Structure 1
Amino acid sequence: MNTSKKMKRSLVMLSIGISVALTGCSTPKAEPTASEPAASTGAAQTAQPTAAPLAPVELSYYFPSGPLKDMQTVEDALNKLIKPKINATVKLKSIDWGVYEEKMKVSMASGEPYDLVWTSAGFNNYFQNVANGAYAPLDELIAKYPDLKKGIPDMFWNAVKVKGKVYGVPVFQQSTAGYGYTIQKAVADKYKMDWKSVTKLSDLTPFLETVKKNEPNLIPWEYSQGADPFLTAPPMFGFETLGDAKTPGDLYLKDGGKVVNQYETPEFKAFITMMRDWFNKGYLRKDAATLKETTADRKAGKNALQLGQIDIDSVAFAAAGMDATGRMSGPNPATQSYDFQFVKPLLTTDKAAATMTAISANSPNKERAMMLLNLLNTDKEIYNTLIWGVEGKHYKKVAENRIETMKDGGYQLLSPWEFGNMSLTYLFEGDPKGNDAKYTQMWVDLNKNAQPSNALGFVFDFTPVKAEKANVDAAIDELYYAIASGSVDPEKYLPQFLDKLKKAGSDKIIAEKQKQLDAWKSTK
């Protein structure tokens, strides 16, 4: 995921002294709301039944991020805002991106009673975790918070349903998936690169060669397991993901009917052949195959070119009269970039479900966890405290809805797309300048009016092939990244990879996907 992506309601008050009727929601017997005292009538009073106040609870919230040295300060500030509203505090449990998925697997397998957790269609696999019973169904809880629900378009809710039920609250963020690349502005200008001429990934080869020959301190092309083009940007190769990006069984965008093993296609063969060439020429880091993420390289401005999920590119911002410093300037304000989209925006299920918050099936505080989710989707102050930290310490306000982050402040989360509703976010150095309200409205409109894919709303149920899925995942983890990064010879290792997938059960998974897709289409 791209850490430089641009960042995102009336709130429901549930505190002591506010009546159940005024809150507009009901709560379980374990967590009743307080009722106002009965009104006095002359000297006599009529006793009215009252509910006990909300008991104090601490909610645990797991999410991935880079190092956050000053998180305790942010947690304290956040709890000062949250506690008066829902009589709860939150314990922020930030885990490094490189180990997040494995850590959450262990937590779920152990039955740990945590409350909230960040999840995704691809990373920390939402659909697989639902099939494993890790998350609580949320429909009844969501219905109690209409402002939360209406702030997220129906297309997003439909994309996260499993067997008709919602198990995760999608983050309304820049999900409409256009794709392209970003290039350091200084590099493109210095060598007079025609950066707007690119129509496909292989067109970048001459640019990479120029960087390799002339800029020894730069990495020509960023690659990591979290920024693999074939898994991160399937539409760039003409595919739509079904279920998750790794599992065999995609649709061709031009077809939309037949499920294919994407690893057996000419498109995949051409991609890994190109990557082998790029690796041999030194365009990637030598440890690319095992690299989980590249936050440090991005902050240091080491990448000359990067893959980009791009909703609005530099060309569109210029046409709208906005000065955009580019996506690379998010992690490092000194590194400006040109962002160019050459695959037009499309809303697919995996992107609508790319970032969500789920509530653990083992959470002892499900109702209160949903109250916190409601606040993160409707309360601008609470949302921005979690995203940006404490004003004056971690950022300074430079306009009504714009900030400048303090690089050495100890809290640079830089991922508003992980939480709540991103339309609430302050803009920062990496966002285009010119008209802040117009910029936010541009991406909001783009996502609300997105072009849907052929299978938007189709959610693959992994349950019938849980064993095969686990075996296939193991085969992919063993060989995929070595092949896709170009670190090994595809002529030798691709046949081995495909053979391992078949033995693990890929054909059964693909057949099950086709069966479920056909059944889904028959209801349309």
Structure 2
Amino acid sequence: MGKSINRIHYFLLMLLVVSLVTAGCGSSNKEDKAPTNSTSEGKSSSDNAGAADDSKLSPYNIVMVFPGPEPKDQKLVQDEINKILQKKINATLEIRSIDWSAWGDKTNLMFASDDPFDLMFSAGWFGFTQQVAKGQFIPLDDLVAKYGQDFTKTIDPEIVNAAKVNGKLYGMVANKEFAADKGLILRKDLVDKYKFDLSKVKELADMEPLFKTIKENEPGVTPFITTGGASPSAMILDYGYYDMLGEGPGELTRSGAGLKVINKIEDPKYMEYAKLMRKWYQAGYINKDAATLQDIGKSLGAGKAFAQTGSFKPGSNLDNSRTQGTELVEIQLAKPFTSTTDATSAVLAISRTSKDPERAMMFANLLYTDKDIMNLLINGIEGKHYVIKSDNVIDFPAGVDSNSSGYPPTRNWMLGNLPLVHLWASEDPNKWEAYANYNKSAEKSRALGFAFNAEPVKTEIAATSNVEKEFKNVIVTGSVDPEKYIPDYITKLKAAGMDKIIAEKQKQLDEWAKAN
């Protein structure tokens, strides 16, 4: 039940929205504030979290804010979760769902009005470090030490540390894949029809003969469908060849040694990919609306296209084939890589407006040990939203599917210790063993754990972002001559403050390296 091919492309666009959030400038240190209840000795009610007896804890409603549409049966699921929470930590859970498209505006208003809530989803690609810089989240080190030991027992310390900013922990990462590899997704029916030997495809350019065959023999089929965000430059280079080092210009090449921050637009590899895309665009291999198209959708499944870029993990080919409604094959062009962004691709943080951070941490810690809570949160209620098929395997009840379910498992990547949850009948029974091996095999960035604070250069980042809107999509989709447009792109980026951003990244990276 993994993410669809294009969901991450849409989510990456949301990063721009979150980065424009301007609220939340209050104090970020809420660990010392008064708890919901105190004992006669003046201790926080949460000091009793480790005890089985919850009688010394006052009732508390934990509010957790998550992106995405609200499932129809969310209230029913919450009620079941609360039967467990009331016994364990004398608390109830309220999930507030906010549509992805409205996330920036609504969370901005929540922080601006000091709306009390406790937990919030965030991610390295979704403005996590910017939210920390704005003081929207509180540091968790002391809370984890007291009430979050199961989190640190579950997650690799190197991955735990990836959610640190300036040496302090601000988020609890979900236990899932912490890496990604990139490449191309192809329709298997056409691969078989023309007997394409995919073992010969080692580089992007090796796809050219395949695209030529499709162009000449399959009328109405686009050989390579893409968008600005799904282009090989954006997908394969940005997240396979570089560590993007957070928001704004300034990247670290994956290969080599040292921590020299470069401008990828001036890297010969960027020009190489842009020229190849231009060649393919002129040859008719690429869709003519690539620079403006927002979503590829199910073009492969609908028979409208042959290939597109993809982000892979164990089981992704099965997931993507199911989503597209046709059998697909994957070609890996960038091996598994773990950067800070990958390691923090799903994070649970505590809001500075929480009235009881201790209780919020107690609940968050349960997400790493309690199978019942996790299965309710992710899969819903047994018998209503799923049925047990055998052992740890579940499926939808008769007559129900992901579209008709009152609680579809759309949060199956977003929080907690995900190996605790049941596997769906459509999933690999060895999924979590495969994920563990995948994480171990991934190459780790030399800057893993570095989190860029963009606040000192937020004006320049906004300015360079506007330049990027003008140039990026037309260049990376082959819609214009890169040898003409890239020099102009660089000139305008420099005028907008690119060099200042890169210098700030280099400064922060050097300071991080000295401390680590």
Same fold per superposition (TM over 0.5): yes
Provide closer, same or farther for how the CA distance between residues 234 and 140 of structure 1 changes in structure 2, counting only shifts above 3 A: farther
- Is 1:416 the counterpart of 2:415? The answer is no
Aligned residue for 1:82?
A: 82
Residue identity in the other structure for 1:520:
W
Task: Structure 1: state its 5+ residue gaps.
Answer: 6-25, 37-49, 314-323
After TM superposition, list the pairs within 5 Å mapping 1:151-170 onto structure 2.
Answer: 151-170=154-173
After TM superposition, list the pairs within 5 Å mapping 1:79-478 onto structure 2.
Answer: 79-85=79-85, 86=89, 87-96=91-100, 100=103, 104=107, 108=111, 112-122=115-125, 124-143=126-145, 144-215=147-218, 220-224=223-227, 227-234=230-237, 238-244=241-247, 246-294=248-296, 304-312=306-314, 326-332=318-324, 334-405=325-396, 406-410=401-405, 411-414=407-410, 416-428=412-424, 431-432=427-428, 436=429, 438-448=430-440, 450-478=442-470
Task: Structure 2: state its 5+ residue gaps.
Answer: 6-31, 38-44
Aligned residue for 2:498?
A: 506
Range 502-511 or range 489-498, more displaced: 489-498
Q: Distance in 2 between matches of 1:219 and 1:183?
A: 12
Q: Does structure 1 conserve the Cα–Cα contact (< 8 Å) formed by 2:205 and 2:276?
A: yes
**Cα offset, 1:73, TM superposition:** 0.7
Q: Distance in 2 between matches of 1:197 and 1:335?
A: 24
> The residue matched to 2:424 in structure 1 has which SS?
coil
**Cα offset, 1:151, TM superposition:** 1.1
Q: Distance in 2 between matches of 1:396 and 1:194?
A: 42
Q: Distance in 2 between matches of 1:201 and 1:496?
A: 26
> The residue matched to 1:196 in structure 2 has which SS?
helix
> The residue matched to 1:363 in structure 2 has which SS?
coil
Provide closer, same or farther for how the CA distance between residues 201 and 388 of structure 1 changes in structure 2, counting only shifts above 3 A: farther
Provide closer, same or farther for how the CA distance between residues 373 and 190 of structure 1 changes in structure 2, counting only shifts above 3 A: farther
Tell me the C-alpha RMSD between the 2 structures.
Answer: 3.6
Provide closer, same or farther for how the CA distance between residues 284 and 518 of structure 1 changes in structure 2, counting only shifts above 3 A: same
Provide closer, same or farther for how the CA distance between residues 508 and 347 of structure 1 changes in structure 2, counting only shifts above 3 A: same
Provide closer, same or farther for how the CA distance between residues 139 and 75 of structure 1 changes in structure 2, counting only shifts above 3 A: farther
Q: Does structure 2 conserve the Cα–Cα contact (< 8 Å) formed by 1:325 and 1:431?
A: no
**Cα offset, 1:479, TM superposition:** 3.4
- Is 1:61 the counterpart of 2:65? The answer is yes
TM-score normalised by the chain length of structure 1: 0.77
Range 125-134 or range 473-482, more displaced: 473-482
Q: Does structure 2 conserve the Cα–Cα contact (< 8 Å) formed by 1:272 and 1:483?
A: yes
Provide closer, same or farther for how the CA distance between residues 184 and 296 of structure 1 changes in structure 2, counting only shifts above 3 A: closer
> The residue matched to 2:79 in structure 1 has which SS?
helix
> The residue matched to 1:260 in structure 2 has which SS?
coil
> Could you report, residue by residue, the CA deviation over 1:256-299 in whole angstroms, capped at 9, with x for unpaired residues?
33211011111111222233344445555554444554556588
Q: Distance in 1 between matches of 2:108 and 2:235?
A: 21
**Cα offset, 1:472, TM superposition:** 2.5
> The residue matched to 1:61 in structure 2 has which SS?
strand
**Cα offset, 1:390, TM superposition:** 4.0
Residue identity in the other structure for 2:143:
L
Provide closer, same or farther for how the CA distance between residues 222 and 393 of structure 1 changes in structure 2, counting only shifts above 3 A: farther
Aligned residue for 1:9?
A: none
Q: Does structure 2 conserve the Cα–Cα contact (< 8 Å) formed by 1:160 and 1:170?
A: yes
**Cα offset, 1:156, TM superposition:** 0.9
Q: Does structure 2 conserve the Cα–Cα contact (< 8 Å) formed by 1:74 and 1:385?
A: no
**Cα offset, 1:325, TM superposition:** 5.8
Aligned residue for 2:22?
A: none
Provide closer, same or farther for how the CA distance between residues 367 and 341 of structure 1 changes in structure 2, counting only shifts above 3 A: same
Q: Does structure 1 conserve the Cα–Cα contact (< 8 Å) formed by 2:244 and 2:250?
A: no
Aligned residue for 2:73?
A: 73
Q: Distance in 2 between matches of 1:404 and 1:300?
A: 26
> Could you report, residue by residue, the CA deviation over 1:115-156 in whole angstroms, capped at 9, with x for unpaired residues?
43322222x221222222222222222221211222111111
> The residue matched to 2:177 in structure 1 has which SS?
coil
Q: Distance in 2 between matches of 1:225 and 1:75?
A: 39
Aligned residue for 1:41?
A: none
> Could you report, residue by residue, the CA deviation over 1:67-87 in whole angstroms, capped at 9, with x for unpaired residues?
66xx03134213321353142
Q: Distance in 1 between matches of 2:228 and 2:240?
A: 18
Aligned residue for 2:477?
A: 485
**Cα offset, 1:163, TM superposition:** 0.6
> Could you report, residue by residue, the CA deviation over 1:34-69 in whole angstroms, capped at 9, with x for unpaired residues?
989xxxxxxxxxxxxx965432425141224xx66x
